[in-house]
Structure 1
Amino acid sequence: MFDSEQAYYHNISFRKACRTRLFSHHELEEATNGFEDSRKLMQCNNSTIFAGVIGDGSHVAIHKLSKCENDKDMMQVMSQIEVLSSIVHRNVASIIGCCIDSNYTPLVVYEYPANGTLEDHLHQNKGQKWQKHGFLDWYRRLNIATEIASTIALLHYDKSPPIFHHNLKSSCIFLDDDFSVKIAGFGILNYDNKNCENRERFRLCKNDVYDIGVLLLEIIHGSNQMDSPTLALKKIRDGKIEEIVDPLLNYHDQPRTCQEQILIFADLATRCLLFSGDGKMGMIDVARELVHLSKDSVDGGNVKGLVLEETFSNSSLLQMISLSPDSMNVP
């Protein structure tokens, strides 16, 4: 466990008061052209994210949550929005407002960078408009995965009570012009953060670890249309990694060091899927291994080590992640 007195950072803070803007349902309906299907960025777990443009011309992502069944649900949603909106971190998408109206489903409004989602860039078959922003080569994919895991680990281990995502998908990962991650789409109604029992927290933690395992496979494959994670695991176990690597990465033309990194990355994804359920694999383990892997990556001098250190500035978590894999044991 972490000492709460040490849980202070330059890049993450939790303000005492929620300062989110309150939107009317009509405003957000207009921003998304009536929540039309063509504006959908993500749909799962009874929630949907839409791209929109609000009155001042700002591009936003509007997360439409499950409808509240009673006043308790409504209070829970308001409480969790307040917690999420108070997070100030370079890799968490800022919540700029919400709509809480008893006549409608709750809506959360996130900033939406112009570079789209990770899904947009991985699934080039959805359209060519993202190609002008640059190709997701291996080093960019590795940096993106490292930022995701490191940020989620921070929220798991250094926030009390911990914050879980439990909706981690490539469509919830926004990218800015520098391909830095902005995580959005946090699940809201799944649990009561303040009154969550240890057993429930363990379930949510392992769900996030499993989800990032699936996400790591998608980053390798370039698509979420694999027959199943089980088939991907079989290919990895049989030494046929090249059969699941995104053709755009030109695996066989990559230098040997890059091929080895992809193998290590795939092995990590495998362990997330196999060992998340029994707690043998935590998000801090995922973050630690990706940080070490990214530190070994050199792409024309474009290494994000300093960015990662900024992410964990003054954090005991950075010290724990920096330890060798065999030198620590996280409960």
Structure 2
Amino acid sequence: MIDLPEFLTQKKILREEGIIACTKSGQEAYGEDCYTKRYSKKKVIILAVGCLASAFIIASSISLYALLKRPIRSSTLDPDRSDSRGTMSFQKACRTRLFTYRELEEATKGFEEGQKIIDDINGMIHAGVLGDGSHVAVQKVQCENERDLMLVLSRVEVLFTVAHRNVARLLGCCIDSDYTPLVVYEFSANGNLEEHLHQEGGRKRCLDWDRRLKIAAETASALAYLQCEISPPIYHHYLKSNCIFLDQDYSVKVAGFGLLNSSIRDGSCLGHNFESSYFSRGDVYDLGVVLLEIITGSRHVDLPTMALTKIRNGKLEEIVDPLLYYHEQPPCCREQIEIVADLVTRCLLFGGDGRLVMVDVARELVHITKQNLDDNNGRVPALQETFSNSSLLQMISMSPDSIYAP
């Protein structure tokens, strides 16, 4: 048994000497043994806090890494790229309507093959119907980089300002897809010139010579206007009969412009600083091919070479579209076909070296058409409306408001 007085005396001595006494596990403990439990608790707390901090840092690092490595969706533009800032600026300052990709995808039935009306170096064009019932033509322009994209969008802005009766109205564009802007034109359910010349798309009515001549004159006049009265000039770069839309009155609506200028007839790549006059001469040659197609009703790949040979040898009647019944036409119409054939020859031979320009082609076609109107005493109302209230010069290149009276 412990002697109580002695125990109290020892405890007093320990306190006086600064030694702490305590009870631990039912027994007396002294000095450092009394600090063991407190020290352990503090150590556990420090370790716990350290572990939590480390876990937070690791989790934050993993989250940041995953965020940086997350793939960028194709429908967005990289905001860190300097050129993307230009695209964002375009979106803010754009005067055209900005369509969504989904909106145009639904209009064209997912850009299905059956909706395609053009597929050439200027891009694919699909016909479609918007939710409000408007018929549109959607042109896909493939760009290689942001610079090309901005070039296309700047030309879209220029085309948007054109208000000419024979140029398809540009409704807007879509830039939701990287480097593949979609340009939206108005489109008539009456189709395009190619369909009518070749009886495609269920077309039953053949274009007579009067309508074909009117289409030729309106097409040339629209191109001359774009090249002479718009600054900077607008060139088509690859005119074909399927780019000439026709409304219910068979009036021309030129569309499908080469907005990038990256290639021409032979598919070769050209720099953006290539002389614009080259493209002007290219348009004249292309119009000559279209005029030849109007005369022959054919789109044979060797048509220009074959036709030039026939025309030079005085055998024009052998290549005239059988549906025109050349030998049954009145003398004035046969003469007009011969004059246009001669113009075709000059377009093909001299359109490539600049000796024949678009305004000269338009002047001749308008002159022939006005004569045709006079000879028929106004038999074709559409021609009367188009040409009767303007001079020849106005019809070719002046303001469209003065050319086409309401």
Q: Which residue number in structure 1 is paired with residue 330 of structure 2? A: 255
Q: Which residue number in structure 1 is paired with residue 289 of structure 2? A: 214
Label 1:254 to 1:307 Cα distance change in 2 as closer, same or farther (>3 A): same
Contact 1:226 1:232 in 2 (8 A): no
Q: Which residue number in structure 2 is paired with residue 55 of structure 1? A: 131
Contact 1:312 1:318 in 2 (8 A): no
TM-score (normalised: structure 1): 0.83
Match of 2:109 among 33, 36, 40: 33
Task: Give SS of 1:278's match.
Answer: coil
Q: Kindly provide the amino acid, as one letter, of the partner of residue 27 in structure 1.
A: E
Q: Which residue number in structure 2 is paired with residue 65 of structure 1? A: 141
Residue 186 (structure 1) aligned with residue 257 (structure 2):
yes
Q: Give 5+ residue unaligned stretches, structure 1.
A: 1-16, 320-331
Contact 2:370 2:387 in 1 (8 A): no
Q: Which residue number in structure 2 is paired with residue 326 of structure 1? A: none
Task: Give SS of 2:323's match.
Answer: helix
Label 1:189 to 1:24 Cα distance change in 2 as closer, same or farther (>3 A): same
Determine the C-alpha separation between the residues in 1 that align with 2:334 and 2:303: 23
Residue 249 of structure 1: how far off its partner (Å): 0.2
Q: Which residue number in structure 1 is paired with residue 402 of structure 2? A: none
Q: Kindly provide the amino acid, as one letter, of the partner of residue 157 in structure 1.
A: C
Q: Which residue number in structure 2 is paired with residue 160 of structure 1? A: 231
Residue 295 of structure 1: how far off its partner (Å): 1.1
Q: Kindly provide the amino acid, as one letter, of the partner of residue 135 in structure 1.
A: C
Contact 1:149 1:283 in 2 (8 A): yes
Match of 1:94 among 152, 157, 169: 169
Q: Which residue number in structure 1 is paired with residue 197 of structure 2? A: 122
Task: Give SS of 1:168's match.
Answer: coil
Determine the C-alpha separation between the residues in 2 that align with 1:300 and 1:47: 43
Q: Which residue number in structure 2 is paired with residue 8 of structure 1? A: none
Residue 112 (structure 1) aligned with residue 222 (structure 2):
no
Residue 27 of structure 1: how far off its partner (Å): 1.4
Q: Which residue number in structure 2 is paired with residue 323 of structure 1? A: none
Residue 226 of structure 1: how far off its partner (Å): 5.3
Determine the C-alpha separation between the residues in 2 that align with 1:311 and 1:93: 21
Match of 1:230 among 305, 315, 319: 305
Task: Give SS of 1:61's match.
Answer: strand
Q: Kindly provide the amino acid, as one letter, of the partner of residue 251 in structure 2.
A: S
Residue 225 of structure 1: how far off its partner (Å): 2.2
Find the structure with the greater CA-based Rg: 2
Q: Provide Cα deviations, 1:127-165, integer angstroms capped at 9, x if missing partner.
A: 4x322xx43100100000000001100111112211111
Q: Which residue number in structure 1 is paired with residue 366 of structure 2? A: 291
Label 1:174 to 1:317 Cα distance change in 2 as closer, same or farther (>3 A): closer
Determine the C-alpha separation between the residues in 2 that align with 1:316 and 1:183: 16
Residue 82 of structure 1: how far off its partner (Å): 0.4
Determine the C-alpha separation between the residues in 2 that align with 1:171 and 1:316: 24
Contact 2:225 2:397 in 1 (8 A): no
Determine the C-alpha separation between the residues in 1 that align with 2:352 and 2:155: 26
Residue 273 (structure 1) aligned with residue 273 (structure 2):
no
Equivalent positions of 1:313-328 (< 5 A) are: 315=394
Residue 137 (structure 1) aligned with residue 205 (structure 2):
no
Residue 103 of structure 1: how far off its partner (Å): 2.6
Determine the C-alpha separation between the residues in 1 that align with 2:341 and 2:366: 15
Determine the C-alpha separation between the residues in 2 that align with 1:218 and 1:41: 18
Q: Provide Cα deviations, 1:235-278, integer angstroms capped at 9, x if missing partner.
A: 11111111111110000100111111101001101100000122
CA RMSD of superposed structures (Å): 2.3
Task: Give SS of 2:288's match.
Answer: helix
Q: Which residue number in structure 1 is paired with residue 241 of structure 2? A: 170
Determine the C-alpha separation between the residues in 1 that align with 2:230 and 2:391: 13
Contact 1:115 1:130 in 2 (8 A): no
Determine the C-alpha separation between the residues in 1 that align with 2:247 and 2:396: 25
Q: Give 5+ residue unaligned stretches, structure 2.
A: 1-92, 263-270, 399-406
Task: Give SS of 2:185's match.
Answer: strand
Q: Which residue number in structure 2 is paired with residue 307 of structure 1? A: 386
Label 1:139 to 1:317 Cα distance change in 2 as closer, same or farther (>3 A): closer
Residue 121 of structure 1: how far off its partner (Å): 0.5
Residue 52 of structure 1: how far off its partner (Å): 0.6
Residue 317 of structure 1: how far off its partner (Å): 5.5
Q: Kindly provide the amino acid, as one letter, of the partner of residue 153 in structure 1.
A: A
Label 1:318 to 1:186 Cα distance change in 2 as closer, same or farther (>3 A): closer
Determine the C-alpha separation between the residues in 1 that align with 2:237 and 2:187: 20
Label 1:291 to 1:18 Cα distance change in 2 as closer, same or farther (>3 A): farther
